[in-house]
Every structure is written in C-alpha cells, then in structure tokens.
Chain A
Amino acid sequence: MISKEEVKHIAKLSRLELTEQEIEKMQKDISAVLDYFELLKKIPKQAGIANVSGKKSIGIEETRKDEVISSYNIRDELIGKYPAKKDDYIKVKTIL
C-alpha cells in the first residue's frame, strides 16, 4: 500500500489539487492497480527480452517517418481559444 504522503507527492508532480476524500480513494485505488502490475514480474526471463527500440518488428515502423507538414493556417482560431490573452499572447500570472 502506498502512503498518503506518496499520493500527495504524485498529485503534486501531476499538478492536481485533490480533496481529502480523493486522497484517501487514490491511496486505495492506486495501490490495488500497482499490486496488479506485480504480475509482470512473473514473466520468465528466458522469454528473450524484446528490443524496445522496436527494430525488426512487424510493419509498424513503416508508419513512422518524419514528414514536413505543409502550412495549415489556423493560427487565429487557436489563439482564439486562450482563456486569457493580450493581443496575440497568452496571458499568465507573474512567475517571480
């Protein structure tokens, strides 16, 4: 079981404000899910650990190559979605 402190720490890393009730629920739920992940330790080592870079596997790589995206101008539409802005800039609170 992960501790309440750990839950609060993960929430902080995730930039999430949680209520006291949510913290308690997360502690229980995340622990159950992490326990389930223990299953992966059972995989026999000799299974030959696959190459994570994915080379030599099957066909998927062909769908992955860098491409130059031609200009597609929806700049104004995207800027229009900023909740707070000044001219074309996103407005944020002072940082320092």
Chain B
Amino acid sequence: MELTDLTIKQAHKGLKSREFSSVDLTKAYLEKIKKSDKEINAYLSVYEKEALLHAESADQKICSGDFGELTGIPCAIKDAIMVEGQRCTAASKILEDYIAPYDATVIKKLKEKGAVILGKTNTDEFTMGSSTENSAFGPTKNPHDKTRVAGGSSGGSAAAVAGKMASFALGSDTGGSIRQPASLCGVVGLCPTYGAVSRYGLIAHASSLDQIGPFSKNIEDAEIVFKAISGKDSMDATSANYLYEKMESSKKPLTIGIPKEYFAEGIDPEVEKIIKGAIKKAEGLGFEIKEISLPLTEYALACYYIIDPSEISANLSRFDGIRYGLSLQNGDLSDVYFKSRGKGLGIEVKRRIMIGTYCLSSGYYDAYYKKAQEVRNLIRQDFAKAFEKADLLFCPVSPFPAFKIGEKINNPMSMYLADIYTVPLKLAGLPGLSLPAGEIKDSLTSSESIGLPVGLQIIGNHFQENKILNVALQMEKVL
C-alpha cells in the first residue's frame, strides 16, 4: 500500500505512531501530482514550497503531542475558495492574476487544525457547469477514463481525490457541484445543509444555494472533514448555530424513502440497475424501504435555472473591471465595463448572466423570477411532506455515468439536464451525499479498463448530516 492510498484515519494513525511524517506524506502526494496531473488537469496551482513548510510545522505539532485528526493531512481546495496570499481564479480569465486577500473561514479552520494545503483545483468558470469544460484553463479528465469528464463544477477536487492526488478536498455545491463529480469519479461527496458551513471567502455564484463541502475516500473521512469545517461563523450571517453530533445507531429501523419520480424516463438503465441493487442491499441491512412521491420534481430544474442565473446576474456585477481583476482601459468608462466583462468572462458565465438579467427585467419578473420563487416554496413543502414519511431518501445522483469530453458542451440545455437529480434538494436547502454504489463496465473501451462509477444519493432533512453519514457508513460496507 502506498502513502497516497491511505484514508485520513489511516494516515493519522501512521503519523501518530511515527511510521511516517507529514513531510513524507506531503511529498508522496506532490510526487503523485507531478506524475499524473499533466494528463488529468485536476490542479490549477500547486503550492509545493508552502505545502512542505506546513507539513514541517505539522510534524512539530505531532512531536509536541498537541494534534488532531487533520494535522499533517494533505488536501486540495477548489479554486473558488480563497487561501490568503495565493492566486484564486475561479477558473476565469477575469481573475487570472487575482491574489486572495484573506482566508475563507473553512481554510482558517483547516489551517488551525494543521491540515496541509497542496494546491487549488479546477472548476467550471465561477463554478457554473457540470463537467469542468467551462474552465478557462482546460477541462479536468476523469481518472477512470481520460476521454471522459470528471463532472462539475468541482471536477478538479473530485479527480484529485479519485486520482490519489489529495487525501481529501473541498468543493462547493450550488446545484450539484459536489455530488455529481463525486458520483462520476467514484468518491464520497457531501453537500451540507444550507447554513451548516460558512460561505465566507467562497466566490459567490448563487448565494441562496452555495454551500462548501468535502470530497473524501470514504464516509469516515467525510465526517472528519465536515465536523472540522461546519458551524456558526460571524462572517456569514446565513451560517447556522450548528454543532455536528455523531448519531448512534437507533434501535428502531430507519425508513428509507424512494422517490419514484427519480426513476422516470431518461435514466440510463445501467445506473438504474446499480441504484436499485443498492436499495435491495439497504433492505438486507434491515432498513424499511418505502416508495414515496415528490410530485414537483419535474419542475425543479426549470425553477433552478431561473433562480440560479438571476442570482448570478446580481453577484457577478461586481466583476466590472474596476474593483478587481482584469481591467481593460480603452475608451470611456462604459467601455471599461463592456470590454473587461466581454473579454474576461467565458460563454457559459455570459449566458447565465443574460438569462438572469432577462428573468429579472421589467415585464418578465413576474413570469419568471417570482414564479420560480413560488415553485421553490412548493418544492420545499414537497420535501417536508416526504420527511414525514421517511428518515432519508435514496435516489441516483446523475442520470448517466461520466460522459465524453465535448459531448454536451455545445448544447447548454443538455448540460443543464445533467443536474436533474441534484438541484431539487438544493432549492429546499437540504443536505445530500454521493456514495459510490457500483461501476458500469464500458464495453466500448478496452476490456481491461475499469468501469465508470455510479453514485447513490442519500438525502436527509435539514441538519441531519449525522443521519446521512450513519446510514452511508452502513451502506458503504455492503456496496
């Protein structure tokens, strides 16, 4: 077993018993990045020097005996989350040379715990997309099949963990950006409840939806990282007074709801087979399985793609060529706006700004934005009713496994449909997790190639990450 194969828990044990040092561990990951990342493109920047310095000070902490589970553990951070003094691009040309002036709260927390930051990972530009193909710095490839996408938007973080180039990673999820790449890359990804983790220092995409969460090799690690980054933060007024508490297994068997709308037309039969197989196994573990209905599911994607661009059009107005980043100074003041934004922003970002501007504009506001807000509330009620009948919901993360690079990029509507199972819960602010459930053997590629991963989505009620993780841990053992 190589050092880069170790989970956080295993690495912590090795560090504690002085089998190896954090410097050894960090060097092993840096080597792996050098070897694999030219092809995968998971990282946009690698902080070799700083990482080794942090590893050295972690080793000193370990020697002193004052250390925790994350001390000396090397991780990767999505390049939409700010690390003080380092470049933070959000994979956009407009922020290509932007140096972060402060640490995001999650970074502050990780640093306090002594985690080692290896570098920043690729994403769709401003985290808008489902494949990382919208990155201004080239797509991330799926470590399972390099002709396919890693998913998105946090594809770099997912691929870094799947490709053993980080022990764990942080990503952000607005409409599926943690769970979908986790599913496509075969790693664990948790999108927490809205408000469970501070958004301070995350470059804003859609503020009523954005949430930071972990990617990890297994459930135990996801729990360690979530526990470390969650909780109230005075710098984010939407962060909740929340303290993670592990859930002990209950005597009464939990009820798992299966929303029938998530198995309707459009799902790849192989994905359906794997998810149904996982549900059978849950039954074998003693969970009560109950079919339920979320009747508004079919409207969720349309609702999301009104609310998301509307918030984007407001949030991205700050990139004006005046206060940050790229500034093209030809012509008059209005030229500075038009040219800096025109040159600095990519096509998908422009598209969403324009859709949002349209939906919010006078004469269209009621038909689009107001309507979407009403539907959002109905969707919340839909989930509230579902959680009266079930403790957790099981469904697929993505209707299909990793698709080919280039397959959907020229047709935005077909790309948006990749989010069909991941957006509904976001509109209700609920937490969801992607757990690797199986692989589809791809007969079209070479016979010895490994399969394409498929993730099981586990959805919980607000702030019930502990219930999700408890059940996921039991499921992980049988999948």
Contact = CB atoms under 8 A, between A and B. Distances in A.
B113 interface: no
Interface range on chain B (Cβ under 8 Å from partner): 35 or more
Given A18-B342, A29-B413, A52-B373, 16 more contacts: A10-B361, A13-B361, A14-B357, A15-B341, A16-B341, A34-B358, A50-B376, A57-B381, A63-B239, A65-B237, A72-B235, A82-B322, A83-B326, A90-B323, A92-B336, A93-B329
B289 interface: no
State which size class the interface on A falls in.
35 or more
A94 B195 CA distance: 42
Contacts of B327: 83-84
A74 B104 CA distance: 13
Interface of B: 98-99, 101-102, 194-195, 234-235, 237-241, 296, 298-299, 301-303, 305-306, 313, 317, 320-327, 329, 332-334, 336-339, 341-343, 345, 347, 350-351, 353-355, 357-358, 361, 368, 370-378, 380-381, 384, 412-413, 416, 429, 462-463
Nearest to A44: B295
Nearest to A64: B238
A36 B332 CA distance: 38
Contact of A40 (B194, B299, B334): B299
Most buried by B among A15, A32, A84: A15
B313 A14 contact: yes
A30 B239 contact: no
Which applies to chain B's interface (DSSP): helix, strand, loop or mixed? Answer: helix
Contacts of A81: 98-99, 101, 323-324
A14 B353 contact: yes
Given A51-B377, A81-B101, A93 B355 contact: no
A32 B351 CA distance: 12
Contacts of B241: 62
Contact of B338 (A10, A15, A50): A15
A69 interface: yes
